[in-house]
Amino acid sequence: MKFLALAAALLLAPPLAAEPTGALGLVVERANGSLLVVDQGKRASLGRITGLGDLSHASLVYSPDQRFAYVFGRDGGLTKVDILAREVVNRVMQAGNSIGGAISDDGTLVAVSNYEPGGVRVFDAGTLEMVADIPAESKTVGLVDIPGRRFVFSLWDKGETWIADFSGDEPEITRIPGMGENPYDALVTANGRTYIAGLFGADHLSALDLWEDEPQPRAILDGYAEERDKLPVYKMPHLEGWALTGEEFVLPAVGQHEVLWVDARDFTETGRTKTHGQPIFAIARPDGRQVWVNFAPPDNDTLQVIDTATKEVIHELKPGPGVLHMEFTPRGHEVWVSVRDAGKVVVYDTQTLEPLREIEADNPSGIFFTARAHRLGL
Amino acid sequence: MKFLALAAALLLAPPLAAEPTGALGLVVERANGSLLVVDQGKRASLGRITGLGDLSHASLVYSPDQRFAYVFGRDGGLTKVDILAREVVNRVMQAGNSIGGAISDDGTLVAVSNYEPGGVRVFDAGTLEMVADIPAESKTVGLVDIPGRRFVFSLWDKGETWIADFSGDEPEITRIPGMGENPYDALVTANGRTYIAGLFGADHLSALDLWEDEPQPRAILDGYAEERDKLPVYKMPHLEGWALTGEEFVLPAVGQHEVLWVDARDFTETGRTKTHGQPIFAIARPDGRQVWVNFAPPDNDTLQVIDTATKEVIHELKPGPGVLHMEFTPRGHEVWVSVRDAGKVVVYDTQTLEPLREIEADNPSGIFFTARAHRLGL
């Protein structure tokens, strides 16, 4: 009877099926507090994970093995989900209002950037126990991982960037003042070397070379919107969406209908491309040959595709109302686009620019493929 | 009884355990025709897949979902293995002597480069049925994938590079003559744009810009070994091991005890670093800050670590006799080193440069982590 009971238990709750994780992804369903588990190869959703709280403006990072995702909710919740089991395995309310996070290069630490009460909190990736609290007395933005169990983030209220080094027994903090007024977001290049902060209170950006022993802020694109009509800014662009095409960055211009091209080596401007509206994300296809751009309201039903070689718009798409995010397959042959108000994700072939499939989703926003587990600086 | 039999069957042959594939890898055991399945997080081997024939000089690529590997054996065998099930699922003898292969960006085609009978053969990634035979009347080398279901390879006997485009119904071949005498290997940059071939019969290399409509070969590093003592070449360096540190390539100099630094934008030489022996692989840590170099016999018991910022050797390691290959974890915090004649793989912390673990392996050579599934140009 024991045998039978065990067998019955096995039949009733079968072990998880063997499932490779390389081509999976998660789509944030912002209104419902849920995540759609998707498969790039099948171009389909496989299931849904619920109970994640307020997921407006949510983002996530992956464990190195791609089994777990750490989801940063706007409500201050840090939720760990098991993609294979399709369930929440742990959830802590770590702050009142959080803005994003990162995972250390060795996968052991998860850091969260907070508006309320400000500062950064760092958690054990296994247990979600807090291992460090870095108050900072400021809202923090632009939190990224860099090599050596380090995180970099910026202080909105103080115009500083801090490097938190967790390679030793105690965290060591390096403070870099003089970044400029009100950094509102930042990015680091894919090799973890160049950190660039966007400034709300200044008409330039600030860059740091993190390979220097004592990194010094350097103003770049000074006066980039000078002598231009300032349009009302409907939504600040996402700097993490900045594209690096190999030799150039492509930046969404704040409050302008254009993207800016910048030499990745000396930060001089190399061109501007007029766009359909105020760009939010300008994301390079992984090979850098195309840059896909979406826009702030009221132009957020449109996508434009720019050819990197000519810097010209080569195609315009109308996926539907509320185009919020794009994510390329890791080698760039397809791109997934979330269309919030149409309740769908649309998959495009990036060579033919034709739609291949629509996948139903509830108010989809961010799309995150598991290949992110293997990238620095997210 | 049916229920009991079914239950018993389940117990006797349990389904594969759920297992994420993001941090797995395969180590080629060249003498035995086997692959060791390894786990980066556990720093351990999980099992062994046998029956792959002659694996001297073998390499492999991964399916986009990271479940399958396609192994290119020197004996002309193309073997598909299931990493989760730890077994060979298909094997074809496709030629007499093959040298490497690649998988298309959409994961549907596997191409193999052959010495005997020469040319390239292309297979359906699902069934391993041949879908195209490209004779070329030459040994082929330097086969890589680029975006748009395309492959690029070079012809040893003809000094040409060919682009095979599988985006349409029939493959289209573009032939580029004038690459130089006897290309022996090649690489493409991570964005699939710049293809560089090493030449056995000339004192320069040839580069192609694949973004051009009609790519033209350009000689680079012309005369790089001029006026230098020509040492006997014990083993040709691997060009796929060329490192891109962000702004520079680092190339193993053929027949010299040095690596060459080359500006990635204009291909001018920017420096040389003396090394312990004739370099075989010069591989950049994923963040580009370090370059690890191994050497041809009789210096193949040694590894040197070069700092990219200063171009100086900062550390020397003696892992043991027969250091054949290095593979970094995707975000670069650790590196795995195969030490053939000591029958082990050694894992190092790339920050402290201390060994962390030794893993027993039978004549290990190439180490391939599953994150390769997400990279162009391998």
Q: With 80 as the cut, is the pLDDT of residue A21 above it? A: yes
What is the rounded CA–CA span in Å between residue A294 and residue B172? 34
Name residue, tokens 């202080």.
Answer: A155
Nearest residue of B to residue A82 by CA position? B20
Bigger pLDDT: B363 or A8? B363
CA atoms within 13 A on the CB side of A97: 8
| pLDDT (0 to 100) of residue A264 | 85
What is the rounded CA–CA span in Å between residue B354 and residue B335? 11
Does residue B193 form part of some domain? yes
| pLDDT (0 to 100) of residue B1 | 43
Strand B364-369 with A364-369, pairing: unpaired
What is the rounded CA–CA span in Å between residue B85 and residue B67? 9
Q: Between A62, A83, A332, which is nearest B147 by CB?
A: A332
Record: contact B332-A23, CB cut-off 8 A: no
Sorted by sequence, the CB contacts under 8 Å of residue A342 that are 6+ apart come out as A319, A320, A321, A322
Sorted by sequence, the CB contacts under 8 Å of residue B310 that are 6+ apart come out as none
- At B338, which amino acid appears? S
What is the rounded CA–CA span in Å between residue B260 and residue B377? 22
| pLDDT (0 to 100) of residue A68 | 98
Domain coverage including residue A227: 94-235
Q: Residue B204's pLDDT band (boundaries 50, 70, 90)?
A: confident
Segment A245-290, tens digit of pLDDT: 778 888 888 788 999 998 888 888 999 999 999 999 999 999 999 9
What is the rounded CA–CA span in Å between residue A99 and residue A239? 13
- Please, are residues B351 and B310 in contact by the beta-carbon 8 Å criterion? no
Does residue A231 form part of some domain? yes
> Which residues of chain A lie closer than 8 angstroms to B288, CB-CB?
191, 193
What is the rounded CA–CA span in Å between residue B327 and residue B294? 12
Does residue A221 form part of some domain? yes
Q: Which of A15-19, B293-297, B374-378 is predicted least confidently?
A: A15-19
Helix/strand number for chain B, H first, E second: 1, 32
Nearest residue of B to residue A25 by CA position? B65
Nearest residue of B to residue A191 by CA position? B287
Segment A44-80, tens digit of pLDDT: 999 999 999 999 889 999 999 999 999 999 899 999 9
- Please, are residues B12 and B325 in contact by the beta-carbon 8 Å criterion? no
Does residue B42 form part of some domain? no
Sheet holding A279-284, edge to edge: A279-284, A290-295, A303-307, A312-317
Record: contact A20-B65, CB cut-off 8 A: yes
Does residue A242 form part of some domain? no
CATH of residue B206: 2.130.10.10
Residue B360 tokens, joined: 């027993």
User: How many separate domains does chain A show?
Assistant: 1
Residue B133 tokens, joined: 């035979």
What is the rounded CA–CA span in Å between residue A213 and residue A215? 6
Among residues B377, B155, B135, B187, the alpha carbon closest in space to that of B122 is found at: B135
- At B295, which amino acid appears? F
The DSSP secondary-structure symbol of A20 reads -
> Which residues of chain B lie closer than 8 angstroms to A106, CB-CB?
331, 333-334
> Which residues of chain B lie closer than 8 angstroms to A102, CB-CB?
none
Number of A–B residue contacts, CB under 8 Å: 193
Which of A10, A16, A89, A191 best probes binding to B when mutated, by most B CB atoms within 10 angstroms? A191
What is the rounded CA–CA span in Å between residue B44 and residue A374? 19
Q: Which of A64-73, A216-225, B134-143 is predicted least confidently?
A: A216-225
Bigger pLDDT: B47 or A94? B47
| pLDDT (0 to 100) of residue B252 | 86
What is the rounded CA–CA span in Å between residue B333 and residue A197? 25
Instruction: Judge residue A270's burial from the number of C-beta atoms within 10 Å of its C-beta, 0-12 exposed, 13-18 middle, 19 or more buried.
Output: middle
Tell me the torsion sign for CA atoms A315, A319, A320, A323: negative
| pLDDT (0 to 100) of residue A236 | 66
Name residue, tokens 């016999």.
Answer: B297
Rounded to an integer, the average pLDDT of B326-337 is: 97
CA atoms within 13 A on the CB side of B160: 15
State how far Cα B178 lies from the chain centre. 26
Q: Residue A1's pLDDT band (boundaries 50, 70, 90)?
A: very low
- Please, are residues B246 and B288 in contact by the beta-carbon 8 Å criterion? yes
Q: Count other Cβ atoms within 10 Å, centred on residue A51.
A: 13
Residue B213 tokens, joined: 């409509």
> Which residues of chain A lie closer than 8 angstroms to B42, CB-CB?
none
Segment B243-257, tens digit of pLDDT: 677 788 888 887 889
Residue B179 tokens, joined: 């690459």
| pLDDT (0 to 100) of residue B370 | 98
Which of A285, A374, A378 best probes binding to B when mutated, by most B CB atoms within 10 angstroms? A374
CA dihedral B55, B299, B341, B60 (to 10 degrees): -20
Which of A65, A84, A169 best probes binding to B when mutated, by most B CB atoms within 10 angstroms? A65
| pLDDT (0 to 100) of residue B15 | 53
Q: Which of A233-247, B30-44, B197-211 is predicted least confidently?
A: A233-247
| pLDDT (0 to 100) of residue B213 | 93
Does residue A312 form part of some domain? no
